[in-house]
Structure 1
């Protein structure tokens, strides 16, 4: 079963949001275009409470039930089968989709017979990277769709380091046309 994991493609991570990936809007059409290539689509959301310690490190973003936590209107959410919430506790950063609190992603994927996971979304250096590393640690053949991922670019060089770290850990880096 070919499975797509869309990581945190939310308004607060897009240009104009609280913690934007400068090129975040550019991946939305790519993500929409690849959805039909998958049997199962799962999407994670940062879903922070207002009083999380996470905001000691980052600007306030993706607070539960706010417009910043929503998916952008341009994203074809009707094609998404399962929604994951992460970072839901006031002591939880929730960088990886495998840290979702409403669904155990590993158990869910195993129940569906998933062995290969294709990852896209925001942001390269944090939530995408951590989701990819966790997928690999759970023994999924993991592909990262480079033209469907964007970084927040908070620190120079971090995005390049994240790509290298994912590749060294065993992820296969592809483009949308190679799915």
Structure 2
């Protein structure tokens, strides 16, 4: 089976949100157009507790963009975002949620971040997404959402590591670009791991 994975299309990552990704709202139309083509659609959702260790506000004297050590891993500090139960954590209003069969929350452990939709950053705990796809005999996944250089990249790489043929939809993603070139580097990394990078028109055609 083929599955579409929608990564973190949430209000806080859209223009005006707490961690707005430039042009993040542009991915919504691509997601809505592609969903009818897939027998299975799933979504990931950043779902942080207020005391999450990735929030700069929880590290006195630190600012977003700085790097600290969290759970033994290097961690970029972010503005407080996608806090459980807040509007910022909700999916974009114009995203069609009817086709979404299952939602997988991530980033729930305050001690470790979770960019990937499959595992936390230390790969110590599964979100259940991999097990769900395996149970549905998914052999191929198409990934899009926010942001290219973080959660989309790591979701695609983890899918590939689990033996799932994976395509990243380039125009269905937008990046943070903390450093110029981060998005291009993310696409190169996905290709190097055996993934494909395509545009939505190729899939729709």
**2:15 corresponds to which residue?**
15
Higher helix share: 1
Alignment match, 1:76:
96
> Match of 2:186?
162
Match of 2:51 in 1: 51
> Across the two proteins, how many residue pairs are aligned to each other?
179
Deviations 1:41-89 (A, max 9, x none): 0000000000010113111000001000001110001111100100001
Partner in structure 2 of residue 24 of structure 1: 24
CA 1:38 to 1:59, structure 2 compared with 1: closer, same or farther past 3 Å? same
Work out whether residues 121 and 148 of structure 1, in 8 Å CA contact, stay in contact via their aligned partners in 2: yes
**Is the Cα–Cα contact under 8 Å of residues 9 and 91 in structure 2 kept in the other structure?**
yes
Give the alignment's TM-score, normalised by structure 1. Answer: 0.96
- Larger deviation: 152-161 or 76-85? 152-161
Structure 2 segments unaligned to the other structure (5+ residues): 57-76
**Coordinate RMSD, CA, aligned:** 1.3
- The residue correspondences of 1:98-117 to structure 2 (distance < 5 A) are 98-99=118-119, 103-117=127-141
Distance 1:38 1:21 in 2: 26
Cα distance in 2, alignment partners of residues 77 and 45 from structure 1: 13
SS of residue matched to 2:55 = helix
State how far apart, in whole Å, the 2-side matches of 1:14 and 1:154 are. 16
**Secondary structure at the residue paired with 1:77?**
coil
Q: Does 1:144 align with 2:164?
A: no
Once residues 155 and 71 of structure 1 are traced to their aligned partners in structure 2, the CA distance between those partners, rounded to angstroms, is 27
Give the SS at the match of 2:43: strand
Q: Which residue of 2 aligns with 1:93?
A: 113
Q: Give the C-alpha shift of residue 147 in structure 1.
A: 1.1
SS of 1:20's equivalent?
A: coil
Cα distance in 2, alignment partners of residues 81 and 103 from structure 1: 15
Is residue 85–residue 102 contact of structure 1 (8 Å, CA) maintained in 2? no
Partner Cα separation in structure 2 for residue 51 and residue 103 of structure 1: 20
Contact 1:84 1:102 survives alignment (8 Å):
no
